[in-house]
Amino acid sequence: MKRIVILLLVLCMLLVLYTVVLKHGNLTNDYTIVLDDKEQQIVAIFDSGGIEPSFETIDNEQFKHFNLRIGRSLFAGLNSAALDSVPAEDPVLLTIETWEPHFYHRNTHQSLVELFKGDFDALIIQLCEEVLSKRHNMFLRWNPEMEVPAGLYPWQNRPYDYIRAYRHLDSIVGIYAPETKMVWAPAGYPGAAEFWPGTEYVDMASITLNSSSEAMMTTYPKEGSSLMELKRKLHRLRFFDVPVMILSNQEFPQGSSELIRERKSLSSIYEIQGIPTERKILRTGKVMIGLYDPAKVLVDNPALNVEHLFVDFERISDGRFREAYSGVVDRGHDVIVTMEPMYPTADELDRSVLQKIVDGKYDSLFHMLFQILNTSEQKIYLRFAHEMEIPILRYPWQSQDPVLYIQAFRHFMELASQNIPAVIKVWGPAGDRGSLEWWPGDKYVDMISIAVYGLPDKNITDPLKQESFETIYNRKIRRMRFVNKPIFITEFGVKGPEEYQNLWLEGAANVIREHPEIMGVNYFNMVDNPEVWGEGMKPPDWSITQESFELFISVLDR
């Protein structure tokens, strides 16, 4: 009897909780109230096209923003009195949010799948017929802030499902309310470009200053001001030639004219490039096989084509790089040279190093490097200031203004091209979220390098919890879909027992062989730097045996 009473109490509590959730409109089939959205008003529109970039400030009394949350069921007569009160000639932005039918599905992303499958079709058609098609100046914004991995909304952090669902929504609106303008609605957070549905599906974009989702995140440092936040968010959308609505719960930031002047002075960075539909440069021969192997355990393998060397200002000056480079040349291998612009033994890393490079203060050291590289006929794959997009302070060029990084990259590669005519210029992000913020431009890059390590998180110590090469590569190569350059995986590795490493490497070789955009791979054969992994944390040992390396090569050559 006691158990029955407890069970009834639990059921009553669940019923109360469910009722509360419905009342507050978090998740419900029938939550279809249209409200004038006071929290996110349109404060300006940015246009990067035309003669020059420009901002148009917006009077939100003349460009109203409404919000509509819907579940899967039809609403019986949409209560749109507030919307009807807006003069017919005034533009209206309608944000619709498609939610799960029940509160316990909050983070299942099910509504994206259901929308793509057609479960929302009848409701969307009704919305088109009763609301959208009756006005000639409607802008439809759907499931905003989707790129922020905050878990605040059920449609967040699922780029593939989001894009499919967005395109399906666009196809219905195009039939039943063809005059409606479609607004793609990222917050402007790093990684927004991963959710781009395609030029033919977007009339405008929007970004949100002080967004609710971003307030929950701590991964990236906060910008110093609203103007800096605006600058970074617009920079993240530089590949897309559409006007951008700016939404905020505050007034439009002061100083926008300064931002416009800066954009005009950096026209070569902000020049709109055509987005490639497919990769044009593909591998025709065998995959280049390389190693970073400071202990020289595997460098005598006859299948090896290339070796990886890291160089900093100290190694250029004291002769250590010249010696290491001569050793690679003597072994008959081509060379990946990663230039790390820093003095690693300094008491404090110089956070102004990028500006100093732009100002030419390290040109003499760079010329010393180029003279060394010119002493042989080997192919030189020159990579500069890698993993710049990771929001940490391991290197002095990380967590910096991407525009400044681009300027420094261009300066370095222009010097390199003048001194080493056949140099192969390599842009080297890790391949993490938001990499393309640091894209330096097509003519400054011959190859893209990314890093593929099995550990998705440095706090994971169990090697069996590593991700497969395929999972990591697919995620990272998708982030490069707007730039059409061949891929060189200049760092990859897996830790753990030899049996596990062999399985992982075999899977990696199969994936590499099937991706003709991959020109070469380079294994990182050593224990990682202990200082990077933190006190009390054992650094991963990526090193492999000769037998494991031979297995990888044999599978790659099948």
Helix%, strand%, coil% for the chain, nearest 5: 35, 20, 45
Strands 424-427 and 380-384: parallel
Alpha helical stretches, state H, 159-284: 159-176, 212-215, 226-236, 256-265, 267-270
DSSP letter (8 states) at residue 375: T
DSSP states of 14-67: HHHHHHHHHHTTSS-TT---EEE-SSSEEEEEEE--SSS-EEEE--TTTSEEEE
Strands 64-70 and 34-36: antiparallel
Distance CA 305, CA 490 (A): 13
491 given a catalytic annotation: yes
β-bridge partners, 140: 94, 182
Select which of 229, 340, 467, 491 is catalytic.
Answer: 491
Strands 54-57 and 41-47: antiparallel
* Closest C-alpha to 315, from 348, 340, 294, 352: 340
Q: Which amino acid is at 415?
A: L
Asked if 467 and 454 count as a contact pair (C-beta separation under 8 A), the reply is yes
Select which of 229, 340, 387, 437 is catalytic.
Answer: 387
CB atoms within 10 A of CB 114: 17
Report CA-CA distances (Å) from 492 to 102, 202, 469: 42, 37, 9
* Closest C-alpha to 406, from 448, 452, 439: 439
Known catalytic residues? 387, 491
